[in-house]
Amino acid sequence: MDIEKMRKWLEITNDYRESNFWSNVLKQKHPDEFFREAVCNPKFDIYQNENYYLIIFEIPGVNQEDLTLNLITNSQLKINGRIKPVLPVEMEMQRERIYGDFERIIELPEPTQAHLMQTQLYNGLLHISFPRKNGY
């Protein structure tokens, strides 16, 4: 394969994936370094019943004081915080979990107001509920 074509391909894939994975592979970085450069992006699920919406974020290791929720608009929720390592980095032998700052903005299923939202953090799960305006 032509080296210029390969460089162009790398640029395109890096831009598309918003990462430097392939560049790191070609530089022969150790796999653990990929985790250190990875972005924390908590996963979430949205549920509904006839009266409420429930959003559950997976944020293990986050303390309540390291977590911030903001209703940006009446239909956009921003969550940000910090996942701290349990033990000092110097003690690591192997690492698969990701630590660091995170920020995520999600679209709510329907508009709401901040005072209607209830939150509860336990067992590494953040539960956010708010009433539905319309039933099914």
Reference 34, options 14, 19, 12; nearest CA is 19
Same structural domain, 16 and 74: no
pLDDT value for 42: 87
Give residue 19's domain range: 1-38
What is the mean predicted confidence (pLDDT) over 32-57? 80
Same structural domain, 13 and 62: no
CA distances from 52 to 83, 112, 117 (A): 29, 11, 10
Number of domains in the chain: 2
Top-confidence residue, 30 or 128? 128
Phi, psi (deg, nearest 5) at residue 83: -100, 115
pLDDT value for 114: 93
Same structural domain, 121 and 65: yes
CA 26, CA 47: separation in Å to the nearest integer? Answer: 42
Same structural domain, 115 and 50: yes
What is the mean predicted confidence (pLDDT) over 47-63? 93
Same structural domain, 115 and 132: yes
Same structural domain, 112 and 62: yes
Reference 36, options 81, 80, 79, 92; nearest CA is 92
Decide if pLDDT at 121 tops 90.
yes
Same structural domain, 31 and 71: no
Same structural domain, 60 and 115: yes
